[in-house]
Amino acid sequence: MAELKTERFNVNNLDCASCAAKIETGLKAVDGVDDAVLDFASLTLHVKATDIARIVEEVRKIEPEVELVPKSGKTPVLESGETSGRFRFKMELAILTVAGALFVLQLFIENRFHGTSFSILELVIVGTAYLLAGWNVLLGAFRTIRKGTLFDENVLMVIATCGALAIHAYSEAVGVMIFYKVGELLQNLAVSRSRRSIQALLAAKPDNALIKTPDGYQEVTPESVDVGDEILIKPGEKVPLDGRIITGSSQLDSSALTGEFVPVNAKPGGIVLAGQINKTGALTVRVSRPFSESSISKVMDLVENATARKAKTEKFITTFARYYTPAVVLIAAGIAVIPPVATGASFHTWVYRALVILVISCPCALVVSIPLGYFGGIGNASRRGILVKGSNFIDALAAVKTVVFDKTGTLTRGVFSVRKVVNLNGFSEHQLLEYAAAAELQSNHPIATSIMNACRKDGRGVNPSMVFDHTEISGQGVEARYGDHSVMVGNDRLLHLESIDHPKCESDGTVAHIVVDGNYAGYITIGDEIKPDAKKALEMLRQQGVEHISMLTGDNSRAANEIAKSLQVDSFYADLLPEDKVRIFEQLNRERGGEGKIAFIGDGINDAPVIARADVGVAMGALGSDAAVETADVVLMNDSPLKMAEAVSIAKQTRRIVWQNIFLAFAVKGIFILFGAMGMATMWEAVFADMGTALVAVANSTRIIGKNAVMT
């Protein structure tokens, strides 16, 4: 079986949401195509197929004018499509201006010289104006019919306007076509505005890097820089790659990554992330990760791919539009034929009413505004440092009723400090710190870092060459040999497992017990701090409708209880191994009884299994492990739990706007279909109602793009 490959394309010359749906549906029916998603809002085609090269040819068969351009590392999403789109907009505007002038002239002739020799001239003017305004609609309808699809919005407009011409409603036929095209252009402007709004985030991609060479600094692309290379970042420049500062101090603007405009102080030993902007001083940085794994690269990838995962509402509307249009044509045909045949009424009257129904029934308001609403929600969240990996997770976030937090690094700062050293059985405090630091030397856990820092402050050093046989005991501690001594550092569970007698420690912090050569040497109490915005975050989540908040931690119950009381969580579970977290989370999931969705927020590699099981898995992106970030559905770039409340708020606002658009479209169309059938609406009113609804829905969708996530 041939291997499936994934590719993304920029889509040029596409200004029709229904055409986007046709391309998507057509590609899914092609042999060898596993999946295809065309997002009209971002003009991006995501394809998974065995033969990628064939995709361009298949799309050309479906829509000959559409051009696919494979995405490259240097081409920001949307850019090429927007350039061609601006040219097409100017051209169509010029053509419509001429058509509009002819339309005004036709109205003048109709009113002043109706029934005179000017009637032939009037027909010429009508025909010219009609063809100028509707040439691409006529062409689109011809292609649709030629492919055997028969029904789309182009076919609806052609049937309606040609019917109007046939019953000599010339001004209405031309006017409907002109105003339909004006409405489409205004829609395209609104959609383009929303697309451009997200480009500010993607424009954060650095274009070059100054790499240190034997001949001085040389300008290269970030993709060509290797791990370990030294780069120079001048004031005002974007940080091109992730790394650690060797020399220099400055302030960094991280707003492109986190959505926060508070400057970050940078000094030797500190970490810089690709996408930050160096504000004040030059920095020399040693690169720690290749560009493909850098912070900004992951952000861009997440944002560009987010719209590939469509919400159920989007999928429903696409399917609905496919059946809705032919149904409307059948209803209109019935209205045009049945009443005259059954009652002897005028065919002219009922044909006109049927044409009114065709005009009002175009599904543009739904097909365009709903994907645009989700796109706007994802874009707004991205600008605020919240990366949502798909429209489907917007819906899930909006329905969250239960939130489960990891403790360390999520609700607390994860910056531990040694508070107390208790030495026993003949060991001194200095020895206790030295042995503990030796055992933790090769560990990257925050507790290990705090013990190492305390050892250095104490003036004691650890010789790395004397440390070997280091073993991490998951959820319990570490074991290593230090010179001739066997050293264990761990929690109460580890000591019980090894049957080592030890005193009961009453502490509000984390307790690390130290055992040397099988003898209990004492314990170290280590404290963590609650994040300053954690309590507010939980309050905001409750305001957003979250009914239950829980906390899971591997820390001891006294330390967990202190945090839980301070934050007023509904429940907490302590002394948990990684597998225990999964078990407790599934228990909480069962207890909620299927009410709403359940979310989990964590940052460590041991949180990844729970993140994967949640309806909405959320990772702390700035300090979180790669495993957690990769597994998560939502990434909070600045590690603030308050961002979770913002994410829920944005999701609820987005969902509210989407449903407003659905209700508006169905309500207006239902009313005017009824009016049209009863003879209470003309084609003029129908086209204004149709395009007015579409424009209001699109404008409503764009509200979320610039909307602040106000907690309501």
Cα 493 to the center of its chain, rounded Å: 41
Alpha-carbon separation of residue 126 from 136, 141, 155, 279 (angstroms): 17, 20, 20, 62
∠ CA 566-569-572, rounded to 5°: 105
Whether 406 is catalytic: yes
Determine contact, residues 572/561, Cβ cutoff 8 Å: yes
Cβ atoms of residues 383 and 259 within 8 Å: yes
Q: Report which of 599, 698, 595, 707 is spatially closest to residue 645, judged by C-alpha positions.
A: 599
Q: How far apart are CA 231 and CA 210, in angstroms?
A: 5
CA 414/CA 399 separation, integer angstroms = 29
Contact 663, 155 (CB under 8 A): no
The Cα angle at residue 121 between residues 119 and 123, in degrees rounded to 5: 70
Nearest to 78 by CA among 215, 237, 193, 235: 193
Residue with tokens 């999701």: 651
Residue pair 40/54 in contact (Cβ under 8 Å)? The answer is: no
Q: Which residue has the tokens 């609609």?
A: 137
First to last CA, the chain: 52
Residue whose tokens read 């509000």:
508
User: Of the residues 39, 253, 406, 607, which is catalytic?
Assistant: 406
Q: In what order do the strands lie in the sheet with 277-278?
A: 264-266, 250-253, 277-278
Cα 653 to Cα 377, 409, 704, 707: the distances in Å are: 8, 28, 7, 9
Question: If DSSP states are collapsed to H, E and C, what string results for 480-511?
Answer: EEECCEEEEEECHHHHHHCCCCCCCCCCCCEE
The answer to whether 616 and 589 have CB atoms below 8 angstroms apart is: no
Got the DSSP string for 84-116? Answer: HHHHHHHHHHHHHHHHHHHHHHHHHHHHHHTTS
Q: Catalytic positions, please?
A: 406
